[in-house]
Amino acid sequence: MDSRKLREGFREAQKITKNFAKSFYLASLFLPKEKKYASYAVYAICRLSDETVDDPTKADPQQELAKLEQKIADAYTKNVIDTPLLAAFRHTVETYRIPKEYFDILIQGMRMDLELKRYTNFPLLYEYCYRVAGIVGLIMLRIFGCRDKTAEGYAVKLGAAMQLTNILRDISEDLARDRIYLPQEELASFGVSERQLSLEQNNAAFKNLLRFQIKRCEEFYRDSLAGVKLIDNYRTRFVVLLMQGIYAGILQAIQKNNFDVFSKRARVSRINKILIVSKILLSGKYL
């Protein structure tokens, strides 16, 4: 494989990651070099999948997603690839033996985004989270390295927890796209209507709904932590703990903002990220 093309592809993947995934990019700096760039290549492809679904300028998102699916499929063949980014992606999936099935499932999740605007219940939402994020946990586990198969379940839980966290943070943005990921059954159970959401009413019922959602996310994070010790390398264990800490910090920010996800975007400040890094270093849990 052309080494110049590979370098160009990995640089492009790094740029995409740095621009669109600032928390992950920060965490990735602690990874060994080869795992770091492999992570960028995977993230860039996942980002392209996400943009295909969310970009309003796409005339036919289904067709664009099909094109991307074909490009991913080509990476698993011996066909000539002219695109540096896809060359870097092919090198990554070959080096770390990442099954094509994982990306097939990711594409299925993206199709759910195109076909579903509402989710009836939590099992259906969890299926979506598994496809778009839990499966990414399995992909990253291949890169990070783990000889214990039981780690896979924990990786899926962490990925799902992060996706559920994104859903809570992005309620307002998703409403603008006429998407409501919060399960309809749970909205009804807490007495929150779609009209209340559209009017951005941060009332007692909505706060109780978010408390319930946050508690479930926190349980997912706690359950996933048992898998960290199963990862081979201490630096990759550190990165997993850092990502878990940052995303759990988003939940804390939502609560600190009095559950106002409409006028304030929940963020983890740079100072708090540094504090999370320091806390993990001092705890020694990654060793």
The answer to whether residues 287 and 181 belong to one domain is yes
Assigned domain for 109 exists: no
The answer to whether residues 212 and 258 belong to one domain is yes
pLDDT number for residue 51: 75
Instruction: Count Cβ neighbours within 10 Å for each residue of 229-248 and write b for 16 or more, e otherwise.
Output: ebbeeeebbbbbbbbbbbbb
The answer to whether residues 137 and 204 belong to one domain is yes
Assigned domain for 105 exists: no
Assigned domain for 92 exists: yes
The answer to whether residues 21 and 90 belong to one domain is yes
pLDDT number for residue 58: 66
Bridge partners (DSSP) of residue 205 are none
How far, in Å, CA of 233 to CA of 39, rounded? 15
The answer to whether residues 134 and 233 belong to one domain is yes
Assigned domain for 107 exists: no
The answer to whether residues 53 and 177 belong to one domain is no
Which domain, by its residues, includes 243? 116-287
pLDDT number for residue 18: 95
pTM of the predicted structure, to 2 decimals: 0.94
Final residue before a domain boundary, out of 51, 75, 100: 100
For 145-206, strand residue ranges (E) read none
Final residue before a domain boundary, out of 75, 100, 125: 100
- Domain containing 192 — which CATH number? 1.10.600.10
pLDDT number for residue 55: 66
How far, in Å, CA of 80 to CA of 62, rounded? 25
Assigned domain for 59 exists: yes
The answer to whether residues 286 and 178 belong to one domain is yes
Concatenate the DSSP letters of all residues of 259-283 into one string.
Answer: T--SSS-----HHHHHHHHHHHHHH
The answer to whether residues 94 and 181 belong to one domain is no
The answer to whether residues 143 and 225 belong to one domain is yes
How far, in Å, CA of 192 to CA of 200, rounded? 11
Per-block mean pLDDT, blocks of 10 residues, the chain (287 long): 88 96 94 96 89 71 91 93 94 97 96 96 98 97 94 97 98 96 98 96 97 98 95 96 97 98 95 95 91
Q: How many domains does the chain have?
A: 2
The answer to whether residues 69 and 155 belong to one domain is no
pLDDT number for residue 57: 66
Assigned domain for 110 exists: no
Question: Which residue matches tokens 């990786």?
Answer: 155
| Structure token pair of residue 256 | 């600190």
DSSP designation for 180: B
pLDDT number for residue 1: 62
The answer to whether residues 274 and 201 belong to one domain is yes
